[in-house]
Chain A
Amino acid sequence: MRHYFDFDTLREIIDSLFRNRRRTILTGFGIFWGLFMLLFLVGGGNGLKHMLSENFEGFASNTMVMISSNTSKPWKGMKEGRYWQLTRRDVKRLKALMPELDVVAPIVSNWGQTAYYKGNSTNPGVKGISGDYNKIEQPLIKYGRAISDSDVEQERKVCVIGKRIYNDLFPEGGDPCGEFIRVGSVFLQVIGVDFSSGNLSINGSSDNSVIIPFSVAAKLYKRGENVDLICMTGKNGIKMKPLEPRVRSIMAREHLFDPTDDQALMVLNTEQIFSIVDNLFRGVNFLIWLVGIGTLLAGAVGVSNIMMVTVRERTVEIGIRRAIGAVPGDILSQIIWESVTLTLAAGSAGIVFSVLILNVVEVIAHKPFFQIHFWTAILAALLLSVLGVLAGLAPALRAMKIKPVDAMRDE
């Protein structure tokens, strides 16, 4: 008797499956479609997630941004509605008092400027930053370099221009570094071009900015000690949200407002935005797997059902096999192998088809985010084999009960 799987057994299985081609194809289609749906949805979901996170690209995910605003509660004899401003001293103070912070970077910005170069002009936002701000919003330097700490210390009149500004002022292209552009009434030397296109940014997208050293901006726009906002990131592994109360109380003590006055100090936490997106996609993923696996299961139940019918129709054939020497185990394994082969073949077709379609999607969307992972395909194939065995189990047990005398039945 036989206990191993070999080429003969495979032939035997394929012969049986090909005997009723149309039914085999229809049965396999359920599995094919289920797997296609599952993988296509998984790929599509991942692609969308990637496309969304592309917007945050180059932006430190654990950033906290602080903006001052009118107080909304009276405090120590002062009325509500009092205006106050963040200052450079706050930067130093936060650095000194909170060792968990990695970068503490002030920003001063100015809108409504016009920039000129030769005959061209454009309307950028001007952003004054410190060197370490580049760690928060990473520039994608196309030409030259980014603003450095020494630019800030020596108050150099230099600038890094965004992509749109570059295109407007230098329509012929080429490396603009070393050229002087005029912004308002001052001449600034271009030292770099930033091509980053992330849509998450602070105080105007970098696309549309002229970025200059913080110290220069403070002088030009006569801010004195005041700054518009302060950005902070935590050191590796530090979560920002729990730091918020301490930041608030430090600022409240310094600027004399009620520490419970949430409106006086607006705090933005990018971690929260990222985690909302993450949670959203975790939910979407869960749904995808639920729907996909549901479809697959329906396909497997279909296979099981049809195999059940097939077994009934094949009573005489199975009886003959038993009469000429097959043991029940032979019949059992044959039916299970038939089921596994059918599910695997149909499922592989589903895998291949979904990979093809996802490829087409990538070409159309111009984004290489959609293709499923190799291991996802392997996992799907494993899942399929298990499903195949399960689907074949009931029909196989029924087939095993067929007796050799049943070969004698006339149908």
Chain B
Amino acid sequence: MLIELNNIHKTYDNGQPLHVLKGIDLSIEKGEFVSIMGASGSGKSTLLNILGILDNYDEGEYHLAGHLIKNLSERESATYRNQMIGFVFQSFNLIGFKTAVENVELPLFYQGMNRHRRHEIAMSYLEKMGLTDWASHYPNEMSGGQKQRVAIARALITHPEIILADEPTGALDSKTSVEVMELLTKLNREDGVTIIVVTHESGVANCADKIVHIKDGLIERIEDNRQHHSSVFGTTTIMK
């Protein structure tokens, strides 16, 4: 098991406590493509943040590739994030004063890799994303789809085993949404990257092999979607 969650609880306490995750049990194997769906406020992002070691949890156990992820030092969690996990966010979260290629290089910078090699690797990932010509452009000169592909390149550059994507198509139109999902699907199929996508859109969720439905901080059901029949709008479109 790559990811193993046992009875995960999370309570936010800003003045008055808000019990968001109320005992999540979930296992995800290496190479799976999973989507997480649920109503707004049901705790999807909270769950994804815990999976990405961006945030901690209060109760239960989380094992990542056999390691218990609990009370880690900043250094340890930074290392796990840097080496095992790639993040793709709804609002792209590129650094605005850096060019596309500099954004992609950044995780390698924090690994201490030298500039020249870093640049080369980042360029090869941008090439994979079809963005060679955009390498020296700043994020505000690019379209949403291009920005998201830069973000994906940045997520991939450290060869992570897992890609965590929080509504990666949330800010994109349906055509670029399809492109981004095709990219993620290809990564999953060809490179065996484990992909977990939080989404509201059934078309996006339909790309996954497994759909986890969350309701009020609990897993309502896990849908087997290997046939990709989940979307009523068909398998190749994403309805906006």
How many residues of B are counted as interface, with CB atoms below 8 angstroms from the partner's CB atoms?
34
Closest A residue, CB atoms, query B110: A325
A404 touches B45 (CB 8 A): no
Interface of A is mostly: helix
Closest A residue, CB atoms, query B49: A405
CB contacts (< 8 Å) of B102 on chain A: these are: 15
Contact flags A1-27 to B (C-beta < 8 A → 1, else 0):
110000110001001101100000000
Interface residues of B in 89-138 (CB under 8 A from A): 89, 91, 93, 95-98, 102, 106-107, 109-112, 114-115
Closest A residue, CB atoms, query B73: A327
C-alpha gap A71/B91 in the complex (Å) = 99
Select one of B75, B87, B98 contacting A327, CB under 8 A: B75
C-alpha gap A406/B98 in the complex (Å) = 19
C-alpha gap A325/B74 in the complex (Å) = 10
> Which of A12, A328, A403, A408 lies at the interface centre, i.e. has the most chain B CB atoms within 10 A of its CB?
A408
Which listed segment binds A: B77-85, B202-210, B219-227?
B77-85
Select one of A15, A320, A327, A405 contacting B93, CB under 8 A: A320
CB contacts (< 8 Å) of A12 on chain B: these are: 109
Q: Does A317 contact B (CB under 8 A)?
A: yes
Q: A15-B97, A317-B95, A404-B81 are in contact. Are A323 and B109 (CB under 8 A)?
A: no
Q: Does A101 contact B (CB under 8 A)?
A: no
Select one of B52, B74, B114 contacting A323, CB under 8 A: B52
Closest A residue, CB atoms, query B91: A410
A408 touches B54 (CB 8 A): yes
C-alpha gap A403/B54 in the complex (Å) = 8
In the assembled complex, 28 residue pairs joining A and B whose CB atoms fall closer than 8 Å, in A order, are A1-B78, A1-B79, A8-B109, A15-B97, A19-B96, A316-B93, A320-B93, A323-B54, A323-B81, A323-B87, A323-B93, A324-B82, A324-B87, A325-B79, A325-B83, A325-B107, A325-B111, A326-B78, A327-B74, A327-B78, A327-B110, A404-B52, A404-B81, A405-B49, A407-B93, A408-B45, A408-B166, A410-B91
Residues of A within 8 A of B (CB): 1-2, 7-8, 12, 15-16, 18-19, 316-317, 320-328, 330, 403-405, 407-408, 410
Residues of B within 8 A of A (CB): 45, 49, 52-55, 74-75, 77-79, 81-83, 87, 89, 91, 93, 95-98, 102, 106-107, 109-112, 114-115, 154, 158, 166
